Structure 1
Amino acid sequence: MAPKFGDLKRFCDKNGWIMVLNTDHWYYEKVLNDGTLLRTKISHAVSKEIPQNLWDRILRKQLHITEKDFWKGL
């Protein structure tokens, strides 16, 4: 099931991410226990599906989680 930008926003809101900016996108940050700062940005097009290649990068480079853990976090 392909996630939508609204799913990503809901995940961030429920899992300790802080919205730091709301302009053309929502910008979120989260500091991990080891001090690592994670950042992601989310399109306001909440009903639009995230393209697979972008979704893979978001999971790996921005959220640092697996897709399975993402869906558990919702």
Structure 2
Amino acid sequence: MPPKFADLKRYCDNNGWTLLRDTDHWYYEKVLTNGDILRTRVSHALSKELPDNLWRKILKQQLRVTEEEFW
């Protein structure tokens, strides 16, 4: 089952991400111990599924976790 934006928001809320602003999307940031800063944004359309290509990009480039680590 593809993840929904609600799953991504829940992940950010529960894994040390800081909500920077709530405008057209929720914008999150996380500072890693090595000083790297990760950023992602989450649509307010929480019930919508993430398209597969976008999901893969978010995991690899924005969250820097595997799908197993995400779930």
Which residue is equivalent to 1:8?
8
The residue type equivalent to 2:42 in the other structure is I
TM-score normalised by the chain length of structure 2:
0.99
TM-score normalised by the chain length of structure 1:
0.95
The answer for unaligned runs of 5 or more in structure 1 is none
What count of residue pairs does the alignment treat as equivalent? Answer: 71
The residue type equivalent to 1:66 in the other structure is T
Distance (whole Å) between structure 2 residues aligned to residue 55 and residue 47 of structure 1: 15
Is 1:69 the counterpart of 2:69? The answer is yes
The answer for unaligned runs of 5 or more in structure 2 is none
RMSD of aligned residue pairs (Cα, Å): 0.4
> Displacement of 1:37 after TM fit?
0.1
Which residue is equivalent to 1:54?
54
The residue type equivalent to 1:43 in the other structure is S
Is 1:19 the counterpart of 2:19? The answer is yes
The residue type equivalent to 2:37 in the other structure is L
- SS class of match (1:48): coil
Which residue is equivalent to 1:43?
43
